[in-house]
Amino acid sequence: MTSVKKPPVEPAQAEAIAAVPLRHPWRWIGAAIVLLLAGLFVYGAATNGNYHWDTYRAYLFDRRISTAAWNTLQLTFWAMVIGVTLGVVLAVMRLSPNPVLRSAAWMYLWIFRGTPVYVQLVFWGLFTSLYPHLAFGIPFVHQFAHLNIQTLNAAFFFASLGLGLNEAAYMAEIVRAGITSVPEGQTEAATALGMSWSLTMRRIVLPQAMRVIIPPTGNEVISMLKTTSLVVAVPYTLDLYTTQREIAGVLYRPVPLLLVASTWYLAITSILMIGQHYLERYFARGSSRHLTARQLRELAKAQAQAQGGAGAR
Amino acid sequence: MTDKPMVSAQAVCKNFGALEVLKGVTLEVQPREVLCMVGPSGSGKSTFLRCINHLEQVNAGRLYVDGVLVGYAERGGKLHELQPREAAKQRRDIGMVFQHFNLFPHMTALENVIEAPIRVKKRHKDEVVESARKLLDRVGLADKEKTYPAQLSGGQQQRVAIARALAMDPKLMLFDEPTSALDPELVGEVLDVMRQLAFDGMTMIVVTHEMGFAREVADQMVFMDGGLVVESGPPREVLANPQRERTKAFLSKVL
């Protein structure tokens, strides 16, 4: 460095810009109007006796309601577990080079997307009447296990299964859209490295597809939370919607109980949305040129060290 | 040096439906040799490269890598299509570098390099990470191991891609227009890495438009047009004294 004749280029010192920020008066006016309208609505609702806020308060944390909310959450969870798992399998089948797998997946989608979920749930409720005995074994030859499923209390099981199998058909299309959004070069690069098709799917394609898959899946979870109100078709009656309706029926006051149920649905949805935010952030890693706050800090530190080192020399 | 060529193509043909892309390519590459393939776009250079690691299936002729028939197994006088597992095994020993890098965007530079050795070769992670760091150092990116591809320049991405291919200890490296997608000032850094690789004795087939690189590094140059090898020989001869009209016309445009 010292042998160089030319003087080192000194960074020109310039004053940092302190500009007057752009004002947005209309935003403030708009916000004031919206707040005023919202305030008027809340005041109106609070002073309107027909809402029966005393009943709302009495039942918001009622044991039956919170248990029902927990049941609804469990239903949502199991239905989505079935839906996502089977959905991924179906999507991969639809994109497989194997025509047998492809047609089977297509048939599944055709049937489960083509009939109403309510009808499917009624069907699963009647399953025990259609097939009262299940036998496991080789058809026409030998059965080694018999199960009389009419004796089982299987409403929760069939409700989750019915919702999950229906959901799988929709998830399959979401996952397929995600997979096809990953550029072909990715599969090629993985193949050229000697990776098998399944390894390529698992390690390269699906993690990238997740970015496309998660937002609509978040939609599906939230939608599922509310679709659970249909499980009365099975009939499964311990979910949030059916429970509040039973209480409301006895009290003869539908509005406050509906508000109770809505509050619970809204609370659960909010928690799910927070979860979705973190999931999205995880799978978005590497997708942007923008450096994360931590990376910026590290780079700034490295820059400061480099300058400090140069100055000391 | 040795009597067994690393790559031996005998009248290799490839067609996509009715479109004939390769119409009988015959060439040989010896171990430690660098072959540069030049020619106009659509002449079949990239397709030939992709046939070598069986990304495309050869329709006629025979293609051998290190003495092993590519893409098929010969049993009882008949050719059988390979099981996907066997085809994947053949590809492990052949590194490929793409025009558009095709790095895995959800993985850091280091993760890109260690992925295949760990998952495909089932090597131990600590050992793979150690050699991956050496490889990143070798391509001049030791300080970028935690960086994601989107935050790297094109030249840096391509150098990571080269390190990723090298991590599998290939006996042959294929380069498919490795500098065509780069800004002019970034081309040099990638060519430097490739030059060093050739100097270290790697067998390489390079599809390129960088005539300077070909002249300096290649042992053999092949000019392709219309799915055929039109002219081949030492690069200085092909470049300075082309024999065929087609070669002359092409070179007059690019030189």
Domains and CATH numbers, chain A: 74-236 (1.10.3720.10)
For residue B50, give the chain A residue with the closest CA: A192
Model pLDDT, residue B2: 53
Q: Rounded to an integer, what distance in angstroms lies between the CA atom of residue A70 and that of residue A76?
A: 10
For residue B106, give the chain A residue with the closest CA: A286
Tell me the per-residue pLDDT of B180-221, one tens digit each, with 9 for 90 and over: 999 988 999 999 999 999 999 999 999 999 999 999 999 999
> What is the pTM (predicted TM-score) of this model?
0.80
Write the single-letter amino acid at B74: E
The minimal CB distance from B104 to the residues A196, A204, A289 is found for A204
CB-CB under 8 Å, B98 with A286: no
Q: B6 by DSSP, 3-state: which? A: coil
Q: Among the listed ranges A123-132, A171-180, A202-211, B162-171, which one has the minimum average pLDDT value?
A: A123-132
CA distances from A290 to A285, A293, B152, B155 (A): 10, 9, 11, 18
Give the ipTM of the model, two decimals please.
Answer: 0.92
Tell me the per-residue pLDDT of B87-142, one tens digit each, with 9 for 90 and over: 999 999 999 999 999 999 999 999 999 999 999 999 999 999 999 999 999 999 99
Which H or E run includes A93? helix A63-94
Q: Rounded to an integer, what distance in angstroms lies between the CA atom of residue B194 and that of residue B212?
A: 13
Q: Residues 6 or more apart from A118 whose CB is under 8 A from it?
A: A230, A233
The minimal CB distance from B120 to the residues A186, A193, A283 is found for A193
Q: Rounded to an integer, what distance in angstroms lies between the CA atom of residue B118 and that of residue B129?
A: 9
Specify whether the CB–CB gap between B155 and B103 falls below 8 A: no
The minimal CB distance from A289 to the residues B53, B89, B150 is found for B150
Model pLDDT, residue B148: 92
Q: A9 by DSSP, 3-state: which? A: coil
Q: A132 by DSSP, 3-state: which? A: coil
Model pLDDT, residue A151: 60
Which H or E run includes B233? strand B228-233
